[in-house]
Amino acid sequence: MNLQQLEHFLVLVEMQSFSRAADKLHLTQSALSRSIRALEEGLGGRLLERDKSKTLTALGELAIARARRIRVELAELRRSASLLADYAGGTLKLGLGPTPTAILSVPLLREMMQRYPAIKLLLSGGTSEMQVQELRDGVVDALVVHRNHIPADADLHLTFFPRTPLGFVARAGHPQAQARSLDYATLRRYPVAASGRAMSAEVMHKLNAYFGPHAHFLDAVQYQSNDMPSLVELVRTSDAVFFGVLQVAQPLIDSGELVQLPLEPALQLSSQFVFVTLEGKILPPALLRVREICSRRMGGMALATAAVDGVQ
């Protein structure tokens, strides 16, 4: 049994035909048949039913799943080798959730350009489900997403970033910019623009409990989007109030264009984001540097790592 035989088996299953698979592999059908038989002999059983259906046997189902993983691992090994020599080149692919996109994209691209100019960095978005599948398929090397959007599957490994605060933000000239505290009745006088990622059941429960028995925070949310820059721009140019991860608005808070609206007494709300890779994957040095940059930009060094099924 060897890697070439596994690749022949993978292509045969993908093409569903000996003739089409042989054409794709630039082999004769007899050569492909010999390769599949040799793989079966090495594994000690048939991989395909010997009838017109060519369906997988139980051993074939097991073998194809492992072969797909081996193909991904082999691609990772080749990519890691290309990135190992002093970051001399290669491509890294990182999937980002909406909030990490707003916080990380520009600083990460700028720092990689300055420190590792030979490395090509590709950033992508999408739904959490799509991004996790892309990670498993080897389309991306890692993800930075909200912890709550990662399934509890043992093949995923998480590096936890420090929790990042949530809060209310308005333009510096907002009628409530100088107020000592924000209550629910006052909040309802202004449209609230919120990130969908900030609206977890836990956060909603805490806000409703804080604002009182008649508060229903979701009723106050008039605009909701995962496009963070658009929400921040809306708040900067109107009397709308932003609710979400404060770090998204931090550059404009630092410049004085936006202000955080205080709550008195203080209410501690936060979200947690994670760096996700496949369990057991050895990260190439360049990807470790990307993780380090992301951690620093998300508020500090990563707290801990764990397989998903070990998360409390």
CA distance 57 to 62: 9
Q: At a CB cut-off of 8 Å and minimum separation 6, what does 227 contact?
A: 98
Q: What is the pLDDT of residue 87?
A: 53
- Between 74 and 161, the higher pLDDT residue: 161
Is 3-81's fold the same as 164-270's? no
pTM of the model: 0.69
- Between 81 and 22, the higher pLDDT residue: 22
Q: What is the pLDDT of residue 119?
A: 87
Q: What is the pLDDT of residue 280?
A: 81
Q: What is the pLDDT of residue 249?
A: 94
Q: What is the pLDDT of residue 50?
A: 73
Residue type, 140: V
Q: What is the pLDDT of residue 305?
A: 53
Q: What is the pLDDT of residue 283?
A: 82
Quick check: 308 pLDDT over 70? no
Q: What is the pLDDT of residue 86?
A: 46
Q: What is the pLDDT of residue 309?
A: 38
Residue 312: which pLDDT band, with cuts at 50, 70 and 90? Answer: very low
Residue 17: which pLDDT band, with cuts at 50, 70 and 90? Answer: confident
Q: Which residues pair with 160 in a beta bridge?
A: 274, 304
CA distance 260 to 72: 46
Residue 310: which pLDDT band, with cuts at 50, 70 and 90? Answer: very low
Quick check: 80 pLDDT over 90? no
- CATH assignment of 3-81, among 1.10.10.10, 3.40.50.720, 1.10.150.80, 3.30.360.10: 1.10.10.10
Q: Where are the domains of the chain?
A: 3-81, 87-162+272-310, 164-270
Q: What is the pLDDT of residue 75?
A: 79
Percentage of the chain beyond pLDDT 90 is 50
Quick check: 247 pLDDT over 50? yes
Percentage of the chain beyond pLDDT 70 is 91
What burial class does residue 257 get, using C-beta atoms within 10 Å of its C-beta: 0-12 exposed, 13-18 middle, 19+ buried? middle
- Between 273 and 285, the higher pLDDT residue: 273
| Pair 18, 12: CB distance under 8 Å | yes
- 143 SS3 class: strand
Classified by CATH at the fold level, domain 164-270 comes out as: D-Maltodextrin-Binding Protein; domain 2 (3.40.190)
Q: What is the pLDDT of residue 113?
A: 93
Quick check: 122 pLDDT over 70? yes
- CATH assignment of 87-162+272-310, among 3.40.190.10, 3.30.450.20, 2.40.160.40, 3.40.50.1000: 3.40.190.10
Q: What is the pLDDT of residue 154?
A: 82
Average pLDDT, the chain: 87
Q: What is the pLDDT of residues 50-63, one digit of tens each?
A: 766 678 889 989 99
Give the residue-averaged pLDDT of 247-261. Answer: 95
Q: At a CB cut-off of 8 Å and minimum separation 6, what does 284 contact?
A: 79, 80, 83, 84, 90
